[in-house]
Structure 1
Amino acid sequence: MPEQANNTNNNSDDAYDFELSLAVRDYECDLQGVVNNATYQNYLEHARHEYLQNRNLSFAHFHETGHDLVLTRAEIDYKAPLKSGDCFTVKLRLEKESRLRFRFIQDIYKDPDDQHILHGRLIGTCLNRNGRPGFPPEIEALLATP
């Protein structure tokens, strides 16, 4: 299944800013035949990268301009497993956590029945070349968008 990205911005409290459809590959499964728990973090990271690219931004762009986006905390609740060949959607919402931190709320749903597979709350910040936190204007603009 090819990757498919969608913007899903609306005013609901449960709204997501972005969705990415993916499929489980055989090599992502462990001996039990389910997706290895560490692989879910790859899915979440891939969705965050695609989210930025969908807005004509990238982690590489920020690094080249002296800003590195880094995670400082990851909370993940595993609700049900995915298996090889399962199709699923990663949904995310970006929020401002504090003056110097942002928060990604991310959920994975199995297609086509929307079974909730995972809920994640990932906290991050942006560090300049001197290791000091602070947001570049592009991130400030994303965080200011309702």
Structure 2
Amino acid sequence: MFILTMRVRDYECDIQGVVNNSVYQNYLEHSRHEFLLANKINFAEITARGINLVVTRAELDYKASLKPQDDFYITVECVRESRLKFAFIQHIYRSADDKLVMQAKVIGTGVNAKGRPEIPPELEQVFLPQEARA
């Protein structure tokens, strides 16, 4: 499981003094990109090869709110959803008390230059057991 720690910035909060609901999607996306980099998957290089990794569905369950200066962490796991789809299972927790703030399931695929689904080989490696990875 991949874990990324972050801190809420004041400008991410709305007039109610909590993180705006749309900002959580930025947190989730940033942690997915960091997960890919940690697994030696360069999003920009894959895109340059003509394969676009795209989100096809996002399920977000808001459980609590973060406030300015809250430290938090995001867990990321990537699982096979089907032959051509994968899912990121993500959770956001407030660090001070490990309270669950959000749980999310973000489903994606790769689309090649011909508009056909294609999962790049380096992403395929993530689904293999650790001992079988190249």
TM range (shorter): over 0.9
Q: Secondary structure at the match of 2:111?
A: strand
Return the match for 2:42 from 41, 55, 58: 58
1:12 maps to none
Question: Deviating runs (4+, > 6 A) in structure 1?
Answer: none
1:16-40 deviation digits (Å, cap 9, x = unpaired)? x200000000000000000000000
Equivalent positions of 1:51-90 (< 5 A) are: 51-90=35-74
- What is the deviation of 1:68? 0.8
Q: Tell me the TM-score normalized by structure 1.
A: 0.86
1:128 maps to 112
1:138 is the counterpart of 2:116: no
Structure 1 CA distance for aligned equivalents of residues 40 and 128 of structure 2: 17
- What is the deviation of 1:144? 2.1
1:42 aligned partner, one-letter code: N
1:133 aligned partner, one-letter code: P
1:97 is the counterpart of 2:81: yes
CA RMSD of aligned residues (A): 0.9
Q: Secondary structure at the match of 2:127?
A: helix
Query: Runs of 5+ in structure 1 lacking a partner?
Result: 1-16
Q: Secondary structure at the match of 1:144?
A: coil
- What is the deviation of 1:66? 1.6
- What is the deviation of 1:58? 1.8
- What is the deviation of 1:94? 0.2
Moved more, 56-65 or 114-123: 56-65
1:35 maps to 19
Query: Runs of 5+ in structure 2 lacking a partner?
Result: none
Aligned-pair identity in percent equals 51
Alignment coverage as a number of residue pairs: 130
Structure 2 CA distance for aligned equivalents of residues 50 and 82 of structure 1: 21
- What is the deviation of 1:65? 1.4
1:8 maps to none
Q: Tell me the TM-score normalized by structure 2.
A: 0.94
Structure 1 CA distance for aligned equivalents of residues 42 and 63 of structure 2: 30
Higher relative contact order (CA 8 A, sep 6+): 2
